[in-house]
Amino acid sequence: MATTPQTATQARGGEKSTLQELAKRHLWMHFTRLSAYDDAAVPILVRGEGCYVYDERGKRYLDGLSALFCVNAGHGRAELGEAAAAQAKELGFYSNWSYAHPPAIRLAARIAELAPGDLNRVFFTSGGSEAVESALKLCRAFHRMRGDGQRTKVIAREVAYHGTTLGALSATGIPSLRAPFEPLTPGGCHVPNTGDYRWPAERDPLWAADAIEERILFESPETVSAVILEPVQNAGGCLTPQDGYFARVREICDRHGVLLISDEVICSWGRLGTYFGSQRYDYQPDVITTAKGLTSAYAPMGAMIASDRLAEPFLEGKSSFEHGFTFGGHPMSAAVALANLDILERENLLGHVAGKEAQLRAMLEGLRDLPIVGDVRGAGYFQAIELVKDPETKKSFDDDESEWLLRGYLSGALYAQGLICRTDDRGEPVIQLSPPLIADSEQFEEIGAILRTVLTEACERLAEC
Tens-digit pLDDT profile for residues 326-341: 999 999 999 999 999 9
> At residue 9, does pLDDT exceed 50?
no
Mean pLDDT across 161-168: 95
State mean pLDDT over 71-98.
97
Cβ contact 137:228 at 8 Å? no
- Give dist(CA 456, CA 16) in Å, integer: 32
Q: Strand order in 188-191's β-sheet? A: 119-125, 302-307, 287-290, 259-263, 224-229, 153-157, 188-191
Least confident segment among 15-29, 225-239, 274-288, 306-320: 15-29
Beta bridge partners of 433: 383
Q: What is the average pLDDT across 96-112?
A: 97
How does the average pLDDT of the chain come out, rounded?
A: 95
218-248, pLDDT tens digit by residue? 999 999 999 999 999 999 999 999 999 999 9
Percent of the chain with pLDDT over 70: 96
Instruction: State whether the Cα torsion 294-297-299-301 is positive or negative.
Output: positive
- Give DSSP secondary structure letters for 134-201: HHHHHHHHHHHHTT-TT--EEEEETT----SSHHHHHH---HHHHGGG-S--TTEEEE--S--TT--T
pTM: 0.95
Q: ∠ CA(334), CA(292), CA(428), 5° rounding? A: 170
Question: Is pLDDT above 80 for 215?
Answer: yes
Of 15-19, 87-91, 307-311, 363-367, the least confident = 15-19
What is the model's pLDDT at position 16? 52
Q: Which CB contacts under 8 angstroms, 24+ apart, belong to 362-369? A: 363/444, 363/445, 363/447, 363/448, 364/433, 364/448, 364/451, 366/448, 367/448, 367/451, 367/452, 367/455
pLDDT recorded at residue 149? 95
Region of 282 (left: φ > 0; alpha: ψ -120 to 50; beta: rest) is left
pLDDT digits (tens, 9 = 90+) for 120-130: 999 999 999 99
Question: Which domains, ranges and CATH numbers included, belong to the chain?
Answer: 12-76+348-464 (3.90.1150.10), 78-346 (3.40.640.10)
Which band of pLDDT confidence, cut at 50, 70 and 90, is reported for residue 17?
A: confident
pLDDT confidence band for 465 (50 / 70 / 90) = low
The reported pLDDT for the residue numbered 259 is 98
Share of the chain above pLDDT 90, in %: 92
Band the pLDDT of 464: cuts 50, 70, 90: confident
Q: Count of alpha carbons within 13 Å of 325, Cβ hemisphere only?
A: 20
What per-residue confidence (pLDDT) applies to 11?
Answer: 42
Q: Letter for the amino acid at 432?
A: Q
Whether 59 has a pLDDT exceeding 80, the answer reads yes
Count of Cβ atoms closer than 10 Å to residue 340 Cβ: 25
State mean pLDDT over 65-70.
97
In the chain, DSSP finds a helix count (H) and a strand count (E) of: 16, 15
Residue 38 pLDDT greater than 60, yes or no: yes
Q: In whole angstroms, what is the distance from residue 359 CA to residue 421 CA?
A: 18
Residue 427 pLDDT: 86
What one-character DSSP code corresponds to residue 5?
P
With a cut of 90, say whether residue 181 has pLDDT above it: yes
pLDDT of 438 reads 98
pLDDT for 94 beyond 80: yes
